[in-house]
Structure 1
Amino acid sequence: MTAQPTYTQQLSTIGEQAGAAIRVSDVVKTYGDVTVLDRVSLDINAGEFITLLGASGSGKSTLLNILSGFTKADGGRLEVDGEDITRRPPHKRGLGMVFQHYALFPHMNIFDNVAFGLRRQKRPKGEVQQRVTDVLRMIQMEHLADRKPDQLSGGQQQRVALARGIVFEPRVLLMDEPLGALDKLLREEMQLEIRRIHQELGITFIFVTHDQHEALTMSDRIALLKHGRIEQLGTPKELYDAPNSRYVAEFIGESNLFEGRVADGAFIDAGGNRFGIPAGQGELLMVRPEHVRVAASPDGLQNAVPVRVFNTVYLGSDVVVYGRAESGQAIVARTPVSHGAAVPLEGDRAVMTWTTEDSRLVPDSESAPRA
């Protein structure tokens, strides 16, 4: 007799078709006089990993809770594969959910925690056994199935919460800042683990975080929210290399921003420095710290600003040098550590320089124009 494929084998053979497409149309949410979501629209592709990124109060968690059905929108429409789910209760939307605070039952072992929902649905015993075993194997925790939650580390508990979210075979998995309680090393480990599981299952992941590093590490696309609106939507590379507003340039990564104007074949900043005109449009010239070099002299350099160094930070693999120009403009350079190379110290004179191709013009606006 031919062996039946396991649950994870069934899902992994489906690939990207296992995920569902999501359409959010003109969703509005208000609390009294405060507009939390202002006619947000977003199309999410089947099998995509999309991150809702933003500061506290931007509306990202509210949007996720509206998708899950735990919060009711005041206007707009939600669709899963073209089917209207706007008024469906949470348990009839077919969406998995992973919370920030793992919400594990302390009196149950790991197997029973993952199996709880399936048993509530009165699934056959054999099916429950197979699904839970396969999912625990996927998250590499089948050997800990008999342990209680308080016998696990934070990262292991988060894996169990993830397993509980995917054991139902959802086509969409919603995650609300699930790594917020972990320390830095565990967060980075879980970021790669979640990305691996997404690639293996092929279902649609919608992830909420305020951590730009998480968003850049895991996402196919990022929706950066500000004051209940999507400021910019794009791939991590698009948001990092081509921000469409000052807010995006400052929120995603670290930026050196020069205010000025394009005139006479150059970009002229407020201090009168002339730089080459890069790609893009706007009143700000942006250059990322990793593209700035520290030189001893401006001779022969395309874009060069004399500075006095006011701080130098050693980060192991990199050295970050902070300089200030005569105009008061602060400029940051981040360079790999080079053995034997001199590192400027506080009080030293130096020159900050970069190539025009490594800079970009950005609109000097706090918000991007509404699409």
Structure 2
Amino acid sequence: MTSQLTYTQQISQVEQQAGAAIRVSDIVKRYGDLTVLDRVSLDINAGEFITLLGASGSGKSTLLNIISGFNKPDAGLLEVDGEDFTRRPPHKRGLGMVFQHYALFPHMSVWDNVAFGLRRQRRPKAEVQQRVGDVLRMIQMDHLADRKPDQLSGGQQQRVALARGIVFEPRVLLMDEPLGALDKLLREEMQLEIRRIHQELGITFIFVTHDQHEALTMSDRIALLKHGKIVQLGTPKELYDSPNSRYVAEFIGESNLFEGRVDADGFVTDGGARFGRPSGDGSLLMVRPEHVRVAASTEGLTNAAPVRVFNCVYLGSDMVVYGRTESGQVVVARTPISHGVSAPLEGDRAVMTWATEDSRLVPDDAEQRQA
């Protein structure tokens, strides 16, 4: 688990850390009248795996490019291990980079692609041999060292790009949606591979993606951006279990959200339904679909939402059931498939129910902004 030390404590320990501590302070970036980053501040711990997550246009790639030096901020400060990097050119930052499009040299072998940067730095031949050999073994590509990029699969090309980013032992590795071109199974395999390499190297990883599953799988912490601001920063569990707004609850995973208010007896929805009093604060009751089960009647249930089923989706081990209440509220249940238990059919009447401790109050976006 990455230590959550303060930035000052991280700086005092840089001699013992493989990774670098990074401080982003009030960074602003504009393109004409459009503000892409609006006073963004973020402390990244040495050796941490942090993901910049957000929809297209949220500012995540712009922030990564400012850290890399490929883009200059209009205001603010960037520090790496306590040094001002705000205006330092990219080639003097010593940061590794893995791009979305791998940009491998097609006429070079795997070995030469990985060695290219070291040769440009005029490293001794013996050092180049040692480092390239070590990193190819780490990514399990040493047996393919003589192949050209067009002889490799997409996943293998991605490994080569990753090797080229880490071969000169940077203290920080920046990755801009490097898994975007891979199919689902290969993406999931590479997520685990990247996580393994991070743990083995101990350097600071900054990963950009719009895929919340990638962020949840790999990250020590996630910074979720919206319209050039970080709307929530925390561990994957914190963002999933305790979102601070409707936007976060809907972006991270799937949520059932009921609008209403808390009174002395629990939570009452705008449609008049009454549920148990969950933890948290806000005017939205959130319950994740995996905590919802489908019942036949409301008898004995604290939380009961009668619905008419309008869709069922078979996912192998799970069944996703979609129902609609009389007030028009859609409620989703994701339940494991049990042998001998029939799934509801489209048009059936059913009851969606959950344990009160599995629900949580979440501020609506306006409440979050006011807070």
**TM over 0.5, shorter chain:** yes
Say if 2:27 and 2:75, in contact at 8 Å, map to a contact too: yes
- How far is the alpha carbon of 1:370 from its aligned partner? 8.1
Residues 184 and 15 of structure 1: CA distance in aligned 2, closer, same or farther (over 3 Å)? farther
Distance (whole Å) between structure 2 residues aligned to residue 367 and residue 135 of structure 1? 49
Query: Cα 1:240–1:112, aligned 2, differ >3 Å: closer, same or farther?
Result: same
Structure 1: how far apart are the matches of 2:113 and 2:316?
A: 42
1:240-273 C-alpha deviation (Å, 9 max, x unpaired): 0000000000000000000001123210002211
Query: 2:245 — aligned with what?
Result: 245
Scaled by the length of structure 2, the TM-score of the pair is 0.95
- Compared CA separation, residues 15 and 112, structure 1 to 2 (3 A): farther
Tell me which residue corresponds to 2:140: 140
Cα RMSD, aligned residues only: 1.3
Q: Which amino acid aligns with 1:29?
A: K
CA distance in 1: counterparts of 2:16 and 2:225, whole angstroms: 26
Show the counterpart of 1:190: 190
Aligned-partner SS, 1:369: helix
The answer to whether residue 339 in structure 2 is matched with residue 339 in structure 1 is yes
8 Å CA contact 1:247–1:367 kept in 2: the answer is no
Q: Is the 8 A contact 2:282 2:367 kept in 1?
A: no
Deviation at 1:365, TM superposition (A): 1.2
Moved more, 361-370 or 160-169: 361-370
- 1:64 maps to 64
Deviation sequence 1:24-45 (CA, Å, 0-9, x none): 0000000000000000000000
Question: 2:205 aligns to what?
Answer: 205
TM superposition outliers: structure 1 runs of 4+ over 3 Å: 366-371
TM-score for the superposition, normalised by structure 1? 0.95
How many residues get paired? 358
Q: Is the 8 A contact 1:15 1:201 kept in 2?
A: no
Aligned counterpart, 1:364: 364
Structure 2 counterpart SS, 1:50: strand
Q: Distance in 2 between matches of 1:152 and 1:367?
A: 51
What is the SS of the residue equivalent to 1:207? strand
Check whether the contact 1:231–1:368 (CA below 8 A) recurs between aligned residues: no
CA distance in structure 2 between the partners assigned to 1:368 and 1:148 by the alignment: 52
Aligned partners of 1:246 and 1:366 also within 8 Å:
no
Where does residue 108 of structure 1 map in the other structure?
A: 108
Partner residue, 1:49: 49
Compared CA separation, residues 336 and 194, structure 1 to 2 (3 A): same
Once residues 239 and 106 of structure 2 are traced to their aligned partners in structure 1, the CA distance between those partners, rounded to angstroms, is 41
Contact 1:231 1:367 in 2 (8 A): no
What percentage of residue pairs aligned between the two structures are identical?
A: 85
Preserved CA contact (<8 Å) 1:232 1:368:
no
Residue type of the alignment partner of 1:74: D
5+ residue gaps, structure 2, are 1-13
- The DSSP-based 3-state class of the residue aligned with 1:88 is coil
1:86 alignment partner in structure 2: 86
CA deviation string 1:323-343 (max 9, x = no partner): 000110000000011111121
The gaps in structure 1 that reach 5 residues or longer are 1-13
Deviates more, 1:357-366 or 1:291-300: 357-366
Tell me what 2:3 maps to: none
Distance 2:92 2:173 in 1: 14
Match of 1:11 in 2: none
